[in-house]
């Protein structure tokens, strides 16, 4: 296996650090628009190479694939670049993985009730072409989406005879402080992506109705997260799992709720009111700039926050329905990561590390032939047990809470 990782930010750097401890691949090329950043992300291991690439240029990505005889492309940049990289991998005839899917567009007249262009629609439109080529595009293979989808498949196969609801629930007690030890506002993941998923109309799936949308931050609930994180208010957010899970797992309802917190929601609403969430360039003293890019530039790089961050993050899948014994059942399958541990072990902050470990596990399963397939497939399309076993073998166990 010869892997091209496009993007050497927090997640791409963590991918390289995690993969360096494994033996399943021959070569891993870490590529970024900033080749110096790619060089910093490259471990001191002869299997790794740094390269420069413009992720928005499909031809450039395809040329890099050919130059290094790549077999698998892992997209580790934000969703704006999904389609150029996806298209490059398809044209080059190699397998593809990502952690976020092609962007959505709200319904033009009923954005808070009807789905417009859904997340991943552009990629699923190419499914037959990928099948005809005998190549695999494994989409949404991060932590959320990704591990959360694996949990959904595991629950359906091993814990339930009938599922009422699959609800992805994400929460944390992470705190970032400044040099004076004061708590500050500093998102632990790409603010560009966070704005996209939090301010777009959330999608909900219901059996018999299909997919529909609601207003941002709708249906607040308090969810009690494990391992000392505790209760966090969660709200509906647009996310890929709701579009992925029902394709392979039968459930009466699928939702995604994120524990954002009142301060974060307030900041996002303010950005929207001021138009600072927009991606279309505006003219500033003769220079065209994207307001959202300005916001991202003004905030610290999430990859650099680890030394000033404390606490844990939890990704998980809450499932209700009828157990295999015919009795009502409710479980929460979860994965908790402590920032102190990821920093000590890998030098990566918890959120990016938790995202990065999952595509590395998936690549190892593909290399071994344990997972295989063709077409545009989500994590739910594969057996969950080998993935969860290997995740534990990587030193990052998962858990199940009843009730």
Q: Please give the pLDDT value at position 177.
A: 87
Strands 2-6 and 72-75: parallel
Say if CB 342 and CB 349 are below 8 A apart.
Answer: yes
* Interatomic CA distance for residues 63 and 48, integer angstroms: 18
Interval 147-163: pLDDT, tens: 999 999 999 999 999 99
Looking at the domain assignment, is residue 183 inside a domain? yes
pTM for this predicted structure: 0.94
- Let me know if residue 306 belongs to a domain: yes
Same domain, yes or no, for 197 and 316? yes
Tell me what pLDDT residue 19 has.
Answer: 98
Q: Are 170 and 76 within one domain?
A: no
Task: Collapse the DSSP code of 195 into the 3-class scheme (helix H, G, I; strand E, B; otherwise coil) and give the result.
Answer: helix
The answer on 195 and 82 residing in a single domain is no
> Measuring CA to CA, how many Å separate 124 from each of 131, 138, 150, 203, 355?
11, 11, 19, 17, 22
Q: Domain holding 207: CATH number? A: 3.30.360.10
The yes-or-no verdict on residue 267 having pLDDT over 90 is no
Give me the pLDDT at residue 190, please. Answer: 77
Over residues 300-327, the mean pLDDT reads 91
Mean pLDDT confidence for 6-10 = 95
Per-residue pLDDT, 66 = 98
Q: What is residue 337's predicted lDDT score, i.e. its pLDDT?
A: 97
Kindly report, residue by residue over 51-80, the tens digit of the pLDDT. 999 999 999 999 999 999 999 999 999 999
Average pLDDT over residues 16-23: 98
Residues 94 and 153 in one domain: no
Mean pLDDT of 242-249: 98
Distances (CA, A) of 382 to 215, 248, 295, 319, 393: 32, 9, 38, 19, 19
**Domain with 7 in it:** 2-98
Mean pLDDT of all residues belonging to the chain: 95
Residue 20, classified by CB atoms within 10 Å of its CB into exposed (0-12), middle (13-18) or buried (19+), is middle
Same domain, 53 and 177: no
pLDDT of residue 307: 84
Looking at the structure, tell me whether residues 193 and 340 fall in a common domain: yes
Question: Residues 72, 159: one domain?
Answer: no
Q: What is the mean pLDDT of residues 364-375?
A: 98
Q: Name the phi and psi angles at 349, rounded to 5.
A: -70, 160
> Is 253 part of any domain?
yes
Domain boundary among 98, 130, 160: 98
225 and 166, same domain (yes or no)? yes
User: Do both 209 and 331 map to the same domain?
Assistant: yes
Q: Is residue 29 part of a domain?
A: yes
Which pLDDT score, from 0 to 100, does residue 330 have?
Answer: 98
Strand, coil or helix: 170 = strand
Same domain, 166 and 263: yes
User: Is beta strand 95-98 parallel, antiparallel or unpaired with respect to 136-138?
Assistant: parallel
pLDDT at 220: 93
Q: How many domains does the chain have?
A: 2
Listed residues 98, 122, 157: the one ending a domain: 98
pLDDT above 80 for 189: no
Q: Which of 36, 71, 98 is the last residue of a domain?
A: 98
Work out the average pLDDT over 391-397: 96
Does some domain include residue 129? Answer: no
**Could you give the percent of the chain with pLDDT greater than 90?**
83
User: Does residue 177 sit within a domain?
Assistant: yes
CATH number for 9: 3.40.50.720
Q: Does 368 map to a domain? A: no
Ranges of beta strands (E only) in 145-227 are: 160-172, 175-176, 203-206, 210-213, 221-225
Q: Which band of pLDDT confidence, cut at 50, 70 and 90, is reported for residue 249?
A: very high
Task: Specify if 132 maps to a domain.
Answer: no
Whether pLDDT at 303 is above 80: no
- How many of the other CB atoms lie within 10 Å of CB of 156? 22
């Amino acid at each position: 296996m010869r892997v091209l990782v496009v993007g050497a930010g927090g997640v791409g750097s963590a991918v390289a650090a995690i993969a360096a401890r494994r033996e399943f691949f021959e070569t891993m090329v870490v590529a970024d628009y900033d080749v110096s950043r790619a060089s910093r992300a490259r471990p001191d291991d002869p299997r790794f190479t740094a390269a420069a690439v413009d992720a928005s240029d499909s031809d450039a990505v395809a040329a890099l694939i050919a130059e290094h005889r790549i077999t698998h492309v892992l997209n580790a940049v934000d969703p704006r670049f999904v389609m150029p990289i996806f298209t490059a991998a398809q044209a080059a005839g190699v397998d593809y993985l990502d952690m976020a899917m092609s962007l959505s567009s709200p319904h033009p007249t009923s954005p808070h009730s009807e789905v417009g262009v859904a997340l991943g629609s552009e990629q699923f439109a190419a499914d037959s072409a990928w099948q005809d080529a005998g190549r695999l595009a494994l989409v949404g293979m991060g932590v959320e989406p990704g591990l959360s989808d694996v949990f959904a498949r595991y629950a359906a196969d091993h814990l339930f005879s009938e599922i009422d609801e699959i609800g992805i629930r994400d929460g944390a007690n992470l705190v970032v402080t400044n040099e004076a030890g004061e708590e500050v506002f500093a998102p632990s993941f790409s603010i560009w992506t966070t704005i996209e998923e939090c301010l777009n109309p959330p999608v909900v799936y219901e059996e018999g109705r299909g997919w529909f949308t609601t207003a941002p931050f709708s249906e607040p609930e308090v969810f009690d997260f494990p391992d000392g994180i505790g209760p966090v208010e969660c709200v509906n957010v647009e996310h890929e799992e709701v579009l992925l899970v029902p394709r392979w797992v039968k459930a009466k309802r699928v939702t995604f709720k994120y524990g954002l917190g009142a301060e974060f929601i307030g900041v996002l609403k303010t950005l929207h009111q001021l138009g600072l969430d927009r991606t279309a360039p505006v003219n500033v003293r003769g220079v065209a700039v994207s307001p959202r890019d300005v916001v991202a530039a003004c905030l610290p790089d999430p990859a650099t926050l680890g030394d000033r961050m404390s606490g844990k993050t939890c990704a998980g899948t809450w499932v209700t329905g009828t157990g295999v014994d015919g009795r009502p059942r409710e479980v929460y399958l979860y994965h908790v990561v402590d920032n102190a541990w990821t920093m000590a072990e890998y030098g990566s902050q918890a959120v990016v590390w938790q995202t990065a470990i999952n595509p590395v596990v998936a690549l190892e399963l593909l290399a071994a032939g344990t997972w295989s397939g063709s077409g545009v497939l989500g994590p739910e399309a594969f057996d969950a047990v080998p993935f969860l076993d290997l995740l534990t073998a990587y030193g990052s166990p998962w858990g199940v809470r009843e009730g």
